[in-house]
Amino acid sequence: MRNKHQNWGWMLAVDFFFAGMGGGMLVIAAVVELFGGGTRMSLLGNLLGPASMCIGCGFLILELGKPLRGWRVFMNPKAILTVGAWMMSIAIASGFVYAAMAIPLDLIFWREWAILGKCLAVVNLITGLVVATYPGVLLGRLKGRPLWVGPGIMALFMLSSLVTGCALHYLSALLMPVLGTLLAPILTPGSALFFLSGVLVQVPDAAIWRVLPGGIAALLLLQLLLWSGYLWVKQSGATAAEAASAQRWISGDLSLAFRGFMVLGTIAPLVLMLLPIQAAPALGAVLVLLGGVTMRLLTVRSGEDRTFLPGEQRYRLRLPTGNEEFLHKNWL
Amino acid sequence: MTRYAMVMDTRRCIGCQSCTVACKIHNELPIDIIYNPVTTIGPTGTFPDLTLSFLPLICMHCDNPPCVDVCPTTASVQRDDGIVHVVDSKCVGCLSCIMACPYGARQHNHETGTVSKCDFCKDRLEQGKLPHCVATCHQKARIFGDLHDPDSDVSKLVKNNRTVQLLGELNTNPNVFYIY
Amino acid sequence: MSKNVDLNQEGVQVKKSACYFCHQNCGVLAYVKDNKVLAIEGDPEFPTNQGGLCSRGNSALQHLDHPDRVNYPLKRIGQRGEGKWQRIPWQQAIDEIAARLSDIKGQFGAEAVATAGGTQRTDDWARRRFMNLFGSPNGFHNAHLCWIPTFMIETAIYGWCPFDLDLGNSRCLVLWGQNPGASGMPEMHHIVDLQQKGLKVIVIDPRYTETASKADLWLPLRPGSDLALALAWLHVIIYSGLFDQEYVDTYCEGFEALTDHVADFSPEWAAPLTWLTADQIRDSAVMYATNKPGNIQWGTSVDQIGRPAGATMHARALLRALTGNLDVFGGDLLTGPSKEFITDEEMEANDSLPEEQKTKQIGSDRFKMVTWPGYGRIAELSKAFWGKAPTAEWMCEAHPPSVFRAILTEKPYPVKALLVSATNPISSYGETSLVMEALQKVDFMITSDYWMTPTAMLSDYVIPAAGALERPTITSSYGCADFLLASQRAIQPMYERHNDYNFWRDLGVALGQQEHWPWETVEDAYFHKIEGLGSGAENYDQFVENVRFHFPEREYSKFKERGFATPSGKVELYSSVLEGLGYPPLPEYVGPTENEIDHPDLAKKYPLVLTTGGGFMPFHHSEHFQIKSLRYLRHEPYMDINPATAASLSIKDGDWVWIETARGRIRQKANLTNGIDPRVVFTQRGWWYPERDMKSPGLGGCTESNANVLTTTADKDCDPYSGAWANRGLLCRVYKADPLGDKEVS
């Protein structure tokens, strides 16, 4: 049909967001575990990392034309998607096993094995980085999609994964004591969940509180610069297709959303991260997440812009939209 | 080793859409799927100094097909004779191959949930027949055959004429050649 | 071939059928089992299409058993246009129709019954046979718009119509108002092949069409101004000494008179009338005259320009003789009718029509060339020379607009019944408002068709017609060629559909014509026609399977021995036959039907020039709009307008616009194209919306985008020679419309 562009839908954009964020969370948790001198990110944050990837997978499977055959995506080692699928599977398993180490339950028999923690952190670091980056690698290789082609999109996706990962870790750490308060009635000595009462408290390490906001601000600055640069390069690009595609973001139908992403999703949280006001960085973190979703949606939307061949757009523009009466007749 | 290729003689093409329709009808495609649109270029120029031509598009069955390695399930395959096609039972409808193809040759079939595309009528080739679009063309503007056979019409046409491959700069190495 | 059908299974027969979605009649192989067509494809061995098959031909199986096909005879219950039908058996329909016709004949005379046809899609000699035996002279088709006036005028001048072009040996082809690239696929293929061998092609067309884009020379003239161009060509060829002196001296009469007559028609005179430059006019005439042998291919356009049509055909005809391109090697051949097989005219029982009835033919008082006065004269000359006459059903017809007016005004006498077969007059005949009024008023109307068309909706009986796969076909240029190609039916008609031959036969038998219809089936009748060929076949199907074609060897320059089939035996550049019928013996100039020079007030209100009628894929007239795969590719009507003109009217590409003439207005989408003069617009023909409510008053949106709402059939706008009415070269205006919306309910 005229308006049915052959393109991925919003579910894949949401998958990219959750999977990327999860990957970023795993990376950060791993860095802290390996180089943080004995500190860890919050339990909630460490759980949300792999959980986020699961949610992403869920959207991915729902987007498939044949979801029940979804297991087949593990089959082609030459395909980036297959590599990504394997890596994500390992990351989810490793992430959950690692996160569980902060749960004071006998069931978690490995929770005191420090070496295991370091090893898992290494696995998390590698797989998390791959998951955070591989969608960008995939998009960058699609030569027929002018807005995506090239090395830039990989960096932008990795960056977004890291910054949204940081933001969610920050929010998770904040939420820990809040959860503790909320769940207090059921965290009584006699209850099965009593073991959590010691966990759901303020994360002690002030270093995280000092470093995270600053780190997020730095990543946001980088995001601002890289996106501006990326679109500038595309718009003055080697091909008319690239320029036209970029123009949709700069002044066309996608420009409102893009400005939302840059102003509300990047600049505003950058400022908020640096403000000494108590709630400011939290608000900033939420904005970062919203910005991350917006950015993925915009990027996927630009998949509509292909290396159109001469006469093709006019041809497709004149095809039916799908609502026409004649299409619904029982005609041959 | 056979290598199937197609030559489009745009000097002869009149944009009548017979090839588009023959393919659609005989392959029983869903209404919104078109494997081979024929676009119109022009009339270009200022009246009355004009040119007009028509561009039949199709899957290029590239030597270097971006749609094959991108497929996570190995449903997208290229045969030894160059034909690229989809093994429907393995396709999960992830649409990666659609996104990988710069020619828009693949389409999401909403009836089956999988991806479909031109396969140079490989079932007809087995019976010694030409693809529908080639057989139906009144103008004989579509020529099909073995590029590696020096006596075939396609290799002679490619050898003796100025031809162009679409989006050649993307290094897909298409096996569809346009005479203009 | 259908994907999952095994054509090698047992019991599959291959039938050598022909497509009949247009008159190219491309060969089609039909794979049949148990009277079901499993698959079709173009026949690689058929000489014209060589395996090719256009988008329409490819849709044959969707057409064959489409859910909207009329499959059973229907009798109207309720009001006209209400869409309430009772299904009745075939014989009951025949009997009731025969009874009604008999009544009308008794009360008002046989002439009160008229028949309407479209373009050649049926066995029209059978229709004429019925009408002759019934006693009515009022059969008609869209003949006036398509070839017939040209045929008759050219035959008057040089004894037959030279429609058989010896293109394979030619050096130059003039496509005068024809666009085979959009409508005549085998012909276009042939032309392009010959171009690669050096054939020069001149295209005369206001639009830069598919064919024009492949031409060596394109003349984008003002629609309707072909007469000025033809006269200027005559002038150039004579006054530049480019005529064939020997041919003219030996085989032509009236050269001096013609020379004087065209003295003033210089390229400089023609330039402002045609909107071409004097150089373009001169150069093109020179190209035709000096690249010999050369051909002038007839195109339907000149038949459709109304008032100047006959004079244009007249002037154009003379060009062949002046250049010595007539009936010579590589030129345009006068083959004459076949002496070897029985022609259509011989099957028409023309002698059965009483002379008294012939004089009652409506329109024959004013328009003589394609009615009994002209046809009679030409048939007389033709029989004397060739031994046979041209087909009467086509070349000798009532004037359709005058018949519609007779229905409404009862002048010259009442017409009380209309038998419509293979046409949708609401879509295809000029001046839709006149047609609608007449069809709604006529006392009795039956329609034989594949579909429930708007016309069928207004009928009292609807008769189910069998289509191409369900009938045998003989292709022979309206019965006027000396060759024929024979094809067989793939299956017997489905449901209760009947071949049109059998409809006329059954009706004839019910009206007492039994003894004149000895051939029970179409195959029997066809076999009778080709029996004389001595093929050895025992029946028609055998002929098709073993012989199939009759292509007599070409004879060139027959005139050297025999002369021409004219009173003087020569080419009559000064035509005594036309003069004898009351027409100018030499072509006289008259401007286009509506033009800015003769009608300045009209031109102020309607400043743009309109051309319509050009064919385009994948439709044919008003057909195929219900075939989804075809409709998908072109689902809305588009009119062509130059971008500069569009900008001045604030119209963007794809906007809905109104196109309005003095007759009415229609709505189409704007296609901005450089391929048309800023002063000209083109509207597509045939558009209706079968998905909409078919009941009155909407009738499937048949007046919404229908180009014939704009055309004119007033006597003053018709060609005096033939009565051909005006589809092209009219004045119009264009302005933006409200969007139609995707789900418009009428």
- Is residue C17 situated within a structural domain? no
Nearest CB to C742; choose among A323, A330, A331: A323
**Separation of alpha carbons B31 and C631, rounded Å:** 10
Conformation bin of residue B24: beta by default, left when phi > 0, alpha when psi is -120 to 50: alpha
Determine the residue type at C300.
T
Interface test with B, best of C24, C49, C58 (most B CBs within 10 A): C58
- C255 vs C322: CA distance, rounded Å: 9
Of B123, B132, B139, the CB nearest to C192: B139
Q: How far is CA C137 from CA C133, C350, C430, in A?
A: 10, 10, 21
The neighbours of chain A, by the rule of 3 or more Cβ pairs under 8 Å, are: B, C
Edge-to-edge strands of the sheet including C473-475? C473-475, C484-487, C549-550
Asked if residue C447 and residue C353 are part of one domain, the reply reads yes
Rounded to whole angstroms, the Cα distance separating C631 from C497 reads 25
Q: What is the pTM assigned to this prediction?
A: 0.94
Comparing CB atoms, the residue among A7, A8, A309 nearest residue B166 is A309
Let me know whether C440 and C495 are in one domain: yes
C478 and C379 in a common domain: yes
Cβ <8 Å between C691 and A320: no
Question: Hey, of B12, B29, B138, B160, which one would you mutate to test binding to chain C, going by the most C CBs within 10 A of its CB?
Answer: B138
Higher pLDDT, A222 or A201: A222
- The string of pLDDT tens digits covering residues C495-528 is 999 999 999 999 999 999 999 999 999 999 999 9
Tokens at C318, concatenated: 């003379």
Best residue of C192, C216, C274 to probe chain B, by most B CBs closer than 10 Å: C192
- Angle of the A10-35 helix axis to the A80-99 helix axis, nearest 10: 50
Interface contact flag, B72 A75, Cβ < 8 Å: yes
Residue C3 lies in a domain: no
For C691, the domain range is: 600-736
Best probe of the A interface among B35, B69, B73, B169, by most A CBs < 10 A, is: B73
Cβ of C742 within 8 Å of Cβ of A319? The answer is no
Q: Considering CB atoms only, which of B32, B135, B140 is closest to C41?
A: B135
Q: How many CB atoms lie within 10 A of CB B28?
A: 10
Contact C633/B at CB under 8 A: yes
Which of A33-37, B133-137, B142-146, C194-198 is the least confident region? A33-37
Indicate the number of domains in chain C: 3
Residue A326: band (very low, low, confident or very high) from pLDDT cuts 50, 70, 90? very high
* C593 lies in some domain: no
C3 pLDDT tier (thresholds 50, 70, 90): low
Are C394 and C434 found together in one domain?
yes
Q: Which residues of A touch C655 (CB under 8 A)?
A: none
Contact yes or no for C12/C27 (Cβ under 8 A): no
For residue C4, name the pLDDT band (cuts at 50, 70, 90).
low
Q: Mean pLDDT over residues C262-289, rounded?
A: 98
Residues of chain A in contact with residue B37, where contact means CB-CB under 8 angstroms, are 312, 315-316
Same-domain pairing of C517 and C627? no
User: Which residues face C485 on adjacent strands?
Assistant: C475, C549
Interface of C with B in 54-83 (CB under 8 A): 54-55, 57-59, 61-62
Question: What is the structure's pLDDT at C247?
Answer: 97
Residue A206 confidence class, pLDDT cut points 50, 70, 90: low
pLDDT at residue C1 greater than cutoff 60: no
- pLDDT of C407 reads 98
How far apart are alpha carbons C408 and C63 in whole angstroms?
36
Same-domain pairing of C246 and C389: no
Does A79 contact B75 at a Cβ distance shorter than 8 Å?
no
Cβ contacts (< 8 Å) between A314 and chain B: which residues? Answer: 39-40
Residue C745 has pLDDT above 50, yes or no: no
In this structure, the answer to whether residues C182 and C140 fall within a common structural domain is no
DSSP C466: P
Rg for chain C, CA atoms, rounded: 25
Do C349 and C287 belong together in one domain? no
**Under 8 Å CB-to-CB from C457, ≥6 apart: which residues?**
C81, C83, C694, C695, C696, C699, C700
CB of A284 closer than 8 Å to CB of A163 = no
Report the pLDDT value the prediction gives residue A203, as an integer from 0 to 100.
67
Sole residue written with tokens 């679409």: B166
- C24-67, pLDDT tens digit by residue? 999 999 999 999 999 999 999 999 999 999 999 999 999 999 99
Task: Tell me which chain A residues have a C-beta less than 8 angstroms from the C-beta of B72.
Answer: 72-76, 79, 81-82, 85
**Which of B12, B14, B134 to probe the C interface (max C CBs under 10 A)?**
B14
Report the gap between the CA of A331 and the closest CA in chain C (Å).
6
Q: Which residues of B touch A312 (CB under 8 A)?
A: 37, 39, 57, 104
Any B CB within 8 A of A66 CB: yes
Instruction: Give the pLDDT score at A188.
Output: 80
Partner-chain contact B103 A75, CB within 8 Å: no
Q: Where in chain B are the domains?
A: 4-179
Query: CB contact, 8 Å: B100 with chain A?
Result: yes
Q: How many CB pairs under 8 A join B and C?
A: 125
Asked whether residue C219 falls in the same domain as residue C206, the answer is yes
Beta strand C27-33 pairing with C36-42: antiparallel
User: Taking residues C715-744, what's their average pLDDT?
Assistant: 87
Task: Quote the CA–CA distance of B106 and B90 in Å, as a whole number.
Answer: 16
**DSSP state string for C407-431:** HHH--SS---EEEEES--HHHHSS-
Q: Is C24 on the interface with B (CB under 8 A)?
A: no
Assess C691–A contact: CB distance below 8 Å, yes or no: yes
Angle between helices A152-183 and A206-235 (to 10 degrees): 150
Q: Do B52 and C675 touch (CB under 8 A)?
A: yes
CA nearest to C648, candidates C588, C734, C716, C573: C734
C644 sits in which H/E element: helix C643-648
Residue of C nearest to A317 (CA): C654
Q: Are residues C295 and C170 in contact, defined by beta-carbon separation less than 8 angstroms? A: yes
Contacting residues of A for C632, CB less than 8 Å apart: 319-320, 327
DSSP string, C532-591: GG----SSHHHHHHHT-EE-PPP---THHHH--SSTTSSEESS-HHHHHTTS-SSPPP--
**Contacts with A, B 113-172, CB within 8 Å:** 113-115, 166-167, 170, 172
Nearest to A325 among C67, C654, C692 (CB): C692
Size of interface A-C (CB pairs under 8 A): 48
Sequence spans of domains, chain A: 10-305
- B71 contacts chain A (CB < 8 A): yes
* Averaged pLDDT of chain C: 96
> What would the pLDDT profile of C412-432 be if each residue is shown by its tens digit?
999 999 999 999 999 999 999
Q: Could you tell me which chains touch chain B, where touching means 3 or more CB pairs under 8 A? A: A, C
Q: Give chain C positions within 8 Å (CB) of A332.
A: 62, 65-67, 627-629
Higher pLDDT, C222 or A197: C222
- As a whole number of angstroms, the distance between CA C165 and CA C477 comes to 13
Question: Would you state the pLDDT for residue A5?
Answer: 72
C743, part of any domain? no
Cβ within 8 Å, pair C67-A330:
yes
Query: Is C742 within 8 Å of A321 when comparing Cβ atoms?
Result: yes
Four-way CATH pick for A10-305: 1.10.10.1200, 1.20.1630.10, 3.30.930.10, 1.10.10.60: 1.20.1630.10
Cβ within 8 Å, pair A324-C627: no
- If asked whether residues C317 and C374 sit together in one domain, one would say no
Q: Is A223 left (phi over 0), alpha (psi -120 to 50) or beta?
A: alpha
DSSP letter string over C84-131?
-EEE--HHHHHHHHHHHHHHHHHHH-GGGEEEE--SS-S-HHHHHHHH
pLDDT score at C211: 97
ipTM of the complex: 0.96
Q: How far apart are CA C650 and CA C412, in angstroms?
A: 48
Structure tokens at B135: 């057989």
Is the CB of A6 less than 8 angstroms away from the CB of B66?
no
Give the residue on C whose Cα is nearest the Cα of A328: C691
Which of B69, B90, B102 has its CB closest to that of A79? Answer: B69
* C171 and C296 assigned to the same domain: yes
Interchain CB distance below 8 Å, A331 and C654? no
pLDDT of C144 above 80: yes
C365 — pLDDT class (breaks 50, 70, 90):
very high
CA angle B7, B52, B55 (to 5 degrees): 30
| Three state DSSP letters for C134-152 | HCCCCEECCHHHCCHHHHH
Q: State whether B18 and C185 contact (CB < 8 Å).
A: yes
> In chain C, whose CA is at the least distance from the CA of A323?
C742
The Cβ of residue A58 has, within 10 Å, a number of other Cβ atoms equal to: 14
Which residues in B lie closer than 8 A to residue A73 (C-beta atoms)? 72-73, 92, 94
Class of domain B4-179: alpha beta
pLDDT in tens, chain B (180 residues): 899 999 999 999 999 999 999 999 999 999 999 999 999 999 999 999 999 999 999 999 999 999 999 999 999 999 999 999 999 999 999 999 999 999 999 999 998 999 999 999 999 999 999 999 999 999 999 999 999 999 999 999 999 999 999 999 999 999 999 999
C351/C306 same-domain check = no
Tokens of C160: 């037959």
> Do residue A326 and residue C628 have CB atoms under 8 angstroms apart?
yes
DSSP state of A265: I
C-chain residues near B12 (CB < 8 A): 192
Contact state of B21 with C59 under an 8 Å Cβ cutoff:
yes
Q: What digits encode the pLDDT tens for the residues C73-82?
A: 999 999 999 9
